[in-house]
Every structure is written in C-alpha cells, then in structure tokens.
C-alpha cells in the first residue's frame, strides 16, 4: 500500500524531516552556545574556576572524544549506505553509532562516580555546578539520539524510511560538535 | 504549503544529499585526520604545561592546540559529515543567525560576568578569592582526594 508522505517543502526546497532537524539544530545552537559561552566568560573572569578545573580527568574526556568522533563516522557511513538503498548495512552502522553512545555514557558515569566519591559534587562550587550541568545536558542529548536511532535502525533494516538515517545522523553530528567544544573547555584548559 | 506526494517512503532516501557522492574511504580518511587533531589537542597543552616555562608562551600553545584545533575539527565535521556545502543556502543563513543571536546574548551579559564590581554592586567573594598557591606561598593544590575550595561568588 502506498501512503502519502510529505517530501519536499516548496518554500525551502528540502524534505520536511531534514528541514525540521536543521531547525532543531538551530535552536540547540542557542542553548549550547549560551552554556559554552557563559562557561568561557566565567572561566576567564574567575580564576578560582581554573583551580577547580584541574581535577577533571583529561584522559576520560579524550577517550570519549575518540568514541564520539568514531560514532560520527559510523553515522555518516550509515547515511552513505542509505543513499545506496542498502538498509541492512545502514541499520548495522546505526547500531554501531548507538554502541558508541553507550560507551560514551559508561565512561561518563565511571568518571562522574569517581569525581562524586572524591567530593566534587554538583554543589561543591560553581565550576562543578557548571560542569555537571553542561556535561549532563549533553549526556541527555546523547541518550535522546540513541533512542531515536534505535527506531530509525529498526525501520532501515526493513528498507523503510531510509531518509531518516540522514536526519538522525545530522542530529548525532551536532551532538559530536558540542562535545568537540566541551572537551577543551572542561578538560584541557587547566 | 507542503508538497505532499504519494510515494513509497523508502524512495525518499533520494532526497538526501546524494550530490556529494563520496565513497566510504573518504569519510574514513576524514575520521583519521580528526583523530590526529585529537592527539595534537591533548598532547599540545600537556607539553606546554610540562616543558614550556614561559606562561604566556604556554597559554598561546594551549589556545592554538586546544581551541584552535577544536574549531578546525568542528569545521571538518560540519563540512564533511553534515554536508553543509551541498545544503540549501537557507540552512547556512539559519545557523549563522543563531550564532549572531548567541553572540548578542553573550555580549550583553559579558560585562557583568567578567567584572567583579560595578556602580552599585560588588562580588566580594570573587574579589577576595586567592588561589591555593597564592595563599600558602606556593603550596601545592590539594590532591584529588579533597575538593577544591568551594568558594561561591
């Protein structure tokens, strides 16, 4: 049975789903841009933040950057597979991306557990409040992306809704982008 | 408003960015470059802190290797993974508009955040704060077992 679907918007000349994802990313720029910019200003304006930031685990942050960059690779390869109408390969690569998100969260939870056990809680000082808020907000986006990709992968494996592979990938690349800036701010600038 | 068509959903994959047509090896090469930049962004600041004694030089090295490379990495992801180059111009305008709005917001609050006092206010805790090294004449910062000074400002 053929069902009606919205394909290309007349005004913008692009598929509805992709347009929606770009609008989502645009709104996220303001959210994460505000968070990152505020952090940067506080970091420059308050020298005590530099002392507090010395206790973040650079190696955990670097490993998670490696994981997210790799998951972005699998997401774009999934998109490539979807363009070739190879739904099964696209689904496998999306599951690899979801796995990357899972590894990221596991490392993050180990890192947070260690920090909390050492007394660096969200109420320890303003740096740690910001650290948990920014990284936590990012972590929620990772979880959201993983959930979305599970549904997209399930359809893609059946060769359905392959255009969604690209849309999910766009969102995932943005999540990766946010981490690319969070990493030097929270882990390297000490 | 929307152009609604009757078509199998799977055919809609053709509406993706098939104009770029890169083979998988292209993306793997980009990923390799991103990993090399990641190594530099970690090694650069580490070396700057351990080897370079001049604080200004160390700061510049950190600035370029950590934040400079982050900007290049982000550009590579946007260009090669998100295919912004073959996307409609409208999307670029949308994203730049958001960046400008963000800049306006930060420009508006920046003066208050960066300063510790103004005409009718003072952030006394921030003004009084001294780094552990300043207060104890070079005493080392507390070990990872103790939280940093929980100063509020």
The answer to whether residue B31 sits within a structural domain is yes
Structural domains counted in chain B = 2
The answer to whether residue B70 sits within a structural domain is yes
Question: What are the CA-CA distances from residue A137 to residues A111, A158, B114 (Å)?
Answer: 16, 33, 24
DSSP character for B9? G
| Chain A CB contacts of B140 below 8 Å | none
Out of A13, A62, A162, the one facing B42 most closely (by C-beta) is A62
Out of A5, A29, A47, the one facing B98 most closely (by C-beta) is A29
| Chain A CB contacts of B46 below 8 Å | 58
Q: Which of A2-16, A158-172, B97-111, B127-141 has the lowest mean pLDDT?
A: B127-141
Q: Are strands B2-6 and A4-9 parallel, antiparallel or unpaired?
A: antiparallel
B27 touches A at CB < 8 Å: yes
Domain that holds residue B76: 22-82
The answer to whether residue B34 sits within a structural domain is yes
Report the complex ipTM: 0.90
The answer to whether residue B76 sits within a structural domain is yes
Out of B27, B94, B148, the one facing A125 most closely (by C-beta) is B148
Please check whether residues B67 and B98 belong to one and the same domain: no
Q: What part of B 32-71 touches A (C-beta under 8 Å)?
A: 34-35, 38, 41-42, 45-46, 49, 62, 66-67, 70
Q: Which of A5-9, B10-14, B66-70 has the lowest mean pLDDT?
A: B10-14
Please check whether residues B34 and B74 belong to one and the same domain: yes
CATH top-level class of A17-188? mainly alpha
| Chain B CB contacts of A4 below 8 Å | 4-6
pLDDT in tens, B26-48: 999 999 999 999 999 999 988 88
* DSSP-assigned states of every residue in B5-66: EE--GGGGGGGS-TTT---HHHHHHHHHHHHHHHHHHHHHHHHHHHH---HHHHHHHHIIII
Please check whether residues B34 and B57 belong to one and the same domain: yes
Out of B34, B88, B147, the one facing A13 most closely (by C-beta) is B88
B96 touches A at CB < 8 Å: no
Tokens of B27: 């993306």
Q: Give the pLDDT score at A8.
A: 63
The whole-model pTM stands at 0.83
Please check whether residues B76 and B98 belong to one and the same domain: no
Domain ranges of chain A: 17-188
pLDDT in tens, A66-122: 999 999 999 999 999 999 999 999 999 999 999 999 999 999 999 999 999 999 999
Please check whether residues B75 and B106 belong to one and the same domain: no
Tokens 């999910």 correspond to what residue?
A168
The beta strands (E) that lie in chain A are given as 4-9
> To the nearest whole angstrom, how far is the Cα of B92 from the nearest Cα of chain A?
10
Please check whether residues B68 and B97 belong to one and the same domain: no
Are A7 and B81 inside 8 Å of each other by CB? no
Are A41 and B152 inside 8 Å of each other by CB? no
């Amino acid at each position: 049975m053929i069902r009606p679907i919205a394909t290309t918007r007349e005004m913008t000349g692009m598929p509805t789903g992709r347009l929606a994802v770009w609008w989502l990313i645009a709104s996220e720029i303001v959210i994460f841009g505000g968070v990152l910019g505020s952090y940067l200003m506080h970091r420059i304006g308050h020298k005590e933040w530099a002392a507090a930031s010395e206790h973040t685990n650079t190696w955990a942050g670097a490993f998670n950057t490696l994981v997210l960059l790799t998951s972005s690779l699998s997401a774009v390869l999934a998109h490539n597979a979807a363009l070739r109408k190879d739904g099964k390969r696209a689904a496998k690569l999306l599951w690899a991306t979801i796995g990357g998100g899972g590894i990221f969260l596991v490392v993050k939870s180990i890192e947070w557990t260690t920090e909390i056990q050492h007394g660096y809680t969200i109420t320890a000082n303003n740096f740690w409040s910001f650290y948990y808020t920014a990284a936590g907000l990012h972590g929620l986006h990772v979880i959201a992306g993983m959930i979305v990709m599970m549904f997209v992968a399930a359809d893609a494996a059946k060769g359905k809704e392959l255009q969604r592979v690209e849309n999910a990938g766009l969102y995932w690349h943005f999540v990766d982008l946010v981490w690319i800036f969070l990493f030097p701010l929270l882990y390297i600038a000490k | 408003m929307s152009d609604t068509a009757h078509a199998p959903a799977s055919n809609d994959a053709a509406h993706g960015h098939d104009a770029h047509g890169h083979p998988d090896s292209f993306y793997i090469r980009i990923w390799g470059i991103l990993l090399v930049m990641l190594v530099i962004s970690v090694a650069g600041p580490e070396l700057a802190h351990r080897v370079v004694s001049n604080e200004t030089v160390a700061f510049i090295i950190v600035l370029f290797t950590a934040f400079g490379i982050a900007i290049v990495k982000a550009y590579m992801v946007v260009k090669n993974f998100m295919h912004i180059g073959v996307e409609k111009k409208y999307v670029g305008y949308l994203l730049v508009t958001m960046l400008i709005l963000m800049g306006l917001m930060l420009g508006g609050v920046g003066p208050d955040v960066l300063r510790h006092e103004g005409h009718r206010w003072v952030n006394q805790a921030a003004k009084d704060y001294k780094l552990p090294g300043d207060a104890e004449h070079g005493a080392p910062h507390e070990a990872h077992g103790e939280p940093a000074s929980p100063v509020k400002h």
